[in-house]
Amino acid sequence: MKILIVGGVAGGATAAARMRRLDEQAEIVIIERGKHISFANCGLPYHIGGVIPLRESLLLNTPESFEQNQNVTVRTRTEAIKINRTDKQLVLKDLDTNREYVEDYDKLLLSPGAMPFKPLIDGINDDGVFTLRNVEDMDRILSWIQEKKVRSATVIGGGFIGLEMVENMKHRGLEVNLVELADQVLLNIDKDMANNLHQELIQNDVHLFLKDAVKAFKSTGNIVEVTLNSGIRFETGVVIFSAGVRPEIKLAKEAGLELGVKGIRVNAFLETSDPDIYAVGDAVEINHCILKKPVNIPLAGPANRQGRIVAGNILGQGRERYEGAIGTSITKVFNKTVACTGLNSDQLSKAGFDFLESFTVSKSHAGYYPGATPMVIKLLFLKTGEIVGTQICGEKGVDKRIDVFATAIKSGLKVQDLEWLELSYAPPFGSAKDPVNIAGYVAHNIIKGDMEIIGWKEMLNAPQDVTILDVRNPKELEDCGSIKPERMINIPLPILRNNLDKLDKEKTIYIYCQIGARGYFAYRILKQNGFKCKNLSGGFMVYNMAVKKF
């Protein structure tokens, strides 16, 4: 069997290596437009910033090593320009000689990836304006910075790559601007959680322009002038345009393969509408395990898994299904780590889900062991307990917690199951009641009716006839501030039972503390004494995080 693979990196290279392990006789050829077939594209920003010092560290396999180790023919600097489905031929172009030729195939795998989105604005192709997709792009950016002795950088787009580029430009000692069209960075998470990142960016001297977009670039020598829609203008030494990606579907479209709204349409076996052509990676639309509809998730993890599965399916060694993805992702923004899995509130609302949410604030490990830092967990779940999304922001321990939530979602666990998970514990690593367990306790309490909660929006818009009760100590109010101090009553939790006569049973009481735990204890005291009350989810810390202006 002769198999042609268009595109390397996560999907194509993974599939080729797996095919060779499954079949020593198959003829496998990788067609790659660039110079490299297997590189760590997620590491590109970190080499630009000098965090990963050696360029060679990003080259996971050279064409030569891949050919030698996998016995796979690799043709770099070669572009697939046409598929002849009737004759099962692929028209190729050698980009170094411009020679076109034809290659036959028995099976064809498309893994062309996605292209950076470049809108039609003045100056988008000027010198000094770059996108970052591959090693060649990285080399061009580094050469420009070094040759032009760049002192400032502007990043357009606050997604994963944009945020990583911001941090790494700061690592290089540059002044950095970040421009984002939306009113928040990182649209995968909710704005209340994104506010953590806004604060972190500003604290690290990043000039943040939200709800604004580029109107035009104008490059003159070593300087790029940036004009925003708001009328703001400034000069910068280099621009990284990182406003998202679009699936590369041109080859598939011209071949008449069926397309979806999010990319090349494939079935669960990763077959296109042509039974001899398969597709994987950023170019395809896949099933979202929660939405139960096609989406495009341009992440390396799903692409790798698709590459592994499609290898056996192409070779006829079983019919393995790719069930879909939930979009688990994580990134570092200076001292903060933010991660998410599943859907966010906006996505759930648009999809018509009737969902609940809770905030919990827990230490990364046992509080009595040095170095513990807080993490905020936002858990989104249905009234029946199904977990439909989780977002976490903190400094330490975020990665292992988001992986537990991702595993729970994929395994069909409910919030009540989180209570009983047996997770590793020693003081340097966690707590006897892990933050995941705590999130489960709180969510299950909400479902059972053991605690009625309000969110920060309800507290912000609290009606005048509602009593606002702060159960923290007076020193905390002095140090941290308070919510609506002109109408707030402060009765610390230790003396609450002896001061119930200061509260009106005819009025609803909104309770809050610093992170929500003491508020819950106060809620149980008041509820069992006949009061109408609700507890602020996540307490003052989450409220302040959400409402703070930047």
Residues 6+ apart with CB under 8 A from 511: 469, 471, 519, 522, 523, 526, 533, 534, 535, 536
Contact 264, 252 (CB under 8 A): yes
Question: What is the rounded CA–CA span in Å between residue 146 and residue 416?
Answer: 55
What is the per-residue pLDDT across 35-90, written as a single tens digit (0 to 9) for each?
A: 888 888 889 999 999 999 999 898 888 889 889 999 999 999 999 999 999 999 99
What pLDDT, on a 0 to 100 scale, did the predictor assign at position 38? 82
Catalytic residue among 42, 289, 340, 513: 42
pLDDT recorded at residue 548: 86
pLDDT of residue 533: 97
Q: How far apart are CA 270 and CA 306, in angstroms?
A: 8
* Radius of gyration in angstroms for the set of CA atoms belonging to the chain, rounded to a whole number: 27
Query: Considering only CA atoms, which of 404, 239, 422, 426 is closest in space to residue 330?
Result: 404
d(CA 185, CA 97): 43
Is there a contact between 34 and 41 (Cβ–Cβ < 8 Å)?
no
Catalytic (active site) residue 513? no
Give CA–CA dist 173/81, Å, rounded. Answer: 42
What pLDDT is attached to residue 41? 84
**What is the distance in angstroms between the CA of the first residue and the CA of the last residue of the chain?**
59
Task: Extract the residue ranges of the chain whose pLDDT is less than 70.
Answer: none
Beta strands at 453-454 and 532-536: parallel, antiparallel or unpaired: parallel
Q: Which of 173, 157, 240, 164 is nearest to 205 (CA)?
A: 173
Contacts for 211 with CB less than 8 Å, ≥ 6 apart: 180, 181, 182, 183
Is this structure's pTM higher than 0.85? Answer: yes
∠ at Cα 386 (355, 398), nearest 5°? 90
Closest to 46 (Cα-Cα) out of 169, 155, 197, 174: 169
Q: Which helix (H) or strand (E) holds 129?
A: strand 129-130
DSSP code of residue 483: S
